Amino acid sequence: MNEILERYISIVRERFDFPWSYIFTLKDLVSFCNKPDENLIAILTTMFIYLNNGSVCVRINDTFYDLMKSLGVENPQWLYEEFKNNINKYTEIVGSPQEYKPVIFNKEKDLIYFQKYFESEDKVKAIIEDFISVAKNKEYEDGLKQEITDYLINEASNLDELQKVAIFLSVIKNFVLISGGPGTGKTTIIKYLLEFLISRNKCKPSDVVISAPTGKASQRIKETIKDNSLLAEVEVLTIHRLLGYTFFRDSFRYNSENKLPYKVVIVDEVSMIDIKLLKHLFEAISNVAKIVLIGDKDQLPSVEAGAFIAKLVPSDYKNRFSSLLKGIAREDLIAESGFNDHIVVLEKSFRSEKSLQEFAKLVNAGRTDIEIQMLSQENLNKFFTESDRIFLYEYKDYRDFKNLVFNWLKRQFGDGYFQSIKIFGDILSTELSNCEKYLKEIFNTLNSGKILSTTNIGLYGCRKINELGMEYFLTKVGARYFYVTNGVPVIINENDYNLSLFNGNIGVVLKFKDGMKAVFNIENDYRVYSIDMLPNFSLAFSITVHKSQGSEYERVMLVVGKSEKPAVLNRQILYTAITRAKKGVIIASTLENLKQGISFSIERESGIEYYRLFS
């Protein structure tokens, strides 16, 4: 068996970006089984490939059989049937959904899980089913319906129809999922929902918590609600902080035995939450609380395994509501059957850049017959002076690409920027108040554009682009120190709750009288930190598309390497990058690469199915 196992390991190490931990675990599982054979080894190897791609389970279908063939299995259908019919040979490690074994095999549905992912997904499904089946007092619900209807008509008349539907259902129901792309008014929904609940004494600010998977996302929400006196006391926390995560114990203070004290739990950017963290969150929420989940079903899924929102809201999902929504939703959205009062997909974007919106929709639909205008370095000025434009720049070689990056940096960080950082240093006193005008100009420049890359490594990855950024800055300011050059943008890579700095926060290094320090704009307040105090950070001329989630920039350049793998370049990556921009996008790639990326969509397997939960 060792030779067969080593052959499979050799194949996956050559073809897939496989972590060593998977290989060690694969070997351990095979060694725990008394009668391992090639059927078991092939199935286990495939499971790790699926997990590496972010899938929660393996679903036996044509994709599975094609993958098996790529591993050298001549007849994968026969191999799977042999595995299925002789499952008792592997009882040391393989069990049914009712058993506690390392591998869970659901024969009826042809699904295979690793135990911890099966447990997480099963728990999430059970909790959702409990929440949507909660019976309400009819008299109370009728009174609440009238109250929220009056509020939407009289005090929220400016809202879009589906925004009103989302608020209405979030008030009436205990579980609601709201999906919408950038600019569809998701944050507005949060504000109006909480204004109604708190002003009508349905709950107190201390009964509500808003949470998000990253510190940057939670900080963004906090900034949008802090000026509203009704909402100023509402807590906004990362999920780990909300649950009271302890690093040394790798456990949470709030869990199934010790529930969170909140009556209303709103979770933003839910597409970024993996299935294990979602399970911990759901377990900690009281069964009498209200859950409102908000995200974008078309955005990049979580880094770890899971595709919760994409599986719960199918790509062809159409809004259909019950008669409960009469008077709120238009008549063609009301249905006698096949309706769902727990999911709302927002359709209207309030951004004015229609061309960018339409292009993002075409990418999301997998349309490779797109038309895109070509850009030359000579007319780069056109991109920076016009709005709602998207261009393709086909660089010839690395030198041509390097020139493109330098031209971008010259436009974004021009003479005005360097004048601002010089004046800042000249007039700086112990108080920042004298310099706020220049700080505002500096941060406006940082937010005016961003170079995004699909990867960190390689000639076209963020690290190399950031080196080009430093090369450009050194010619302008003549400094010697790599990370502490005056004016360079930096990004935080890990959370530090004591400093209120979070993974994804972008700041700038500036020269003070007593040396170089980093300045961050946190909740519209400029905060200064010693370089030595900062948690792990890196340069931020360029960041990955993953890091950009939850951010917006005036203009974006998306850099795609010459031969990116589907795991790096895909429909979700492209959609996410394009929708970060408010005014314009340059895609630095070949047309062939762009079309390949559009044609490939991340398909993560999961046992969560829309029709089983809501039928």
Please give, one letter per residue, the 3-state secondary structure of 375-394.
Answer: CCHHHHHHHHHCCCEEEEEC
pLDDT at 91: 92
pTM to 2 decimal places = 0.84
Judge whether residue 442 has pLDDT over 80. Answer: yes
Q: Is the pLDDT of residue 483 over 70?
A: no
Alpha-carbon distance values, 444 to 440, 469, 504, 506, 513 (Å): 6, 18, 17, 12, 23
Q: Are 578 and 362 in contact (CB under 8 A)?
A: no
Tell me how far the alpha carbon of residue 599 is from its chain's centroid.
21
Mean per-residue pLDDT, 99-109: 93
Residue among 347, 342, 349 at smallest CA distance from 177: 342
**pLDDT above 80 (res 247):** no
Report the SS3 class of residue 114.
Answer: strand
Contact predicate 273/213, CB 8 Å: yes
Can you state the angle between helices 76-85 and 62-70, rounded to 10 degrees?
A: 110
Is the pLDDT at 455 greater than 80? The verdict is yes
Percentage with pLDDT > 90 across the chain: 40
pLDDT at 349: 81
**Confidence at residue 523, expressed as pLDDT on a 0 to 100 scale:** 67
Please give the average per-residue pLDDT across 408-430, as a whole number: 78
Q: How far is 510 from 611, CA to CA, in rounded Å?
A: 55
SS (H, E, C) 3-20: HHHHHHHHHHHHHCCCCH
Which pLDDT value is given to residue 615? Answer: 57
Q: Which residues contact 522 (CB under 8 A, 6 or more apart)?
A: 219, 500, 501, 505
What is the pLDDT confidence band of residue 603, given thresholds at 50, 70 and 90? confident
- Across 375-380, average pLDDT: 78
Give the pLDDT confidence score for residue 423 in this predicted structure. Answer: 75
Render the burial of 388-400: b for 16+ CB within 10 Å, e for the rest: bbbbbbbbeeeee
51-68 mean pLDDT? 90
Query: What does the alpha-carbon distance between residue 255 and residue 159 come to, in Å, rounded to a whole number?
Result: 37
Bin 251: left if φ > 0, else alpha if -120 < ψ < 50, else beta: beta
What mean pLDDT is reported for the chain? 87
| Contact predicate 391/372, CB 8 Å | yes
Of residues 229 and 167, more confidently modeled? 167
pLDDT level of residue 136 (50, 70, 90 thresholds): low
pLDDT the model gives residue 263 = 95
Q: In the chain, what is the greatest distance between 2 CA atoms, to the nearest angstrom?
A: 79
CA angle, corner 128, sides to 302 and 56, nearest 5? 35
- Of the candidates 482, 596, 497, 574, the one whose C-alpha atom is nearest the C-alpha of residue 531 is 482
Closest CA to 213 of 500, 568, 602, 503: 503
What is the DSSP code (8-state) at residue 307? -
User: Cβ neighbours of residue 212 under 8 Å, at least 6 residues apart?
Assistant: 218, 221, 236, 238, 239, 267, 268, 269, 550
Work out the average pLDDT over 487-498.
86
Q: Please, are residues 42 and 82 in contact by the beta-carbon 8 Å criterion?
A: no
Q: Are strands 245-246 and 251-252 parallel, antiparallel or unpaired?
A: antiparallel
Residue 82: band (very low, low, confident or very high) from pLDDT cuts 50, 70, 90: very high
Give the position of tokens 């997998």: 366
Banded pLDDT at 433 (limits 50, 70, 90): low
More confident residue, 311 or 188: 188
Determine the pLDDT at residue 139.
Answer: 57
Percent of the chain clearing pLDDT 70 (strictly above): 94
Place 178 in a pLDDT band, splitting at 50, 70 and 90.
very high
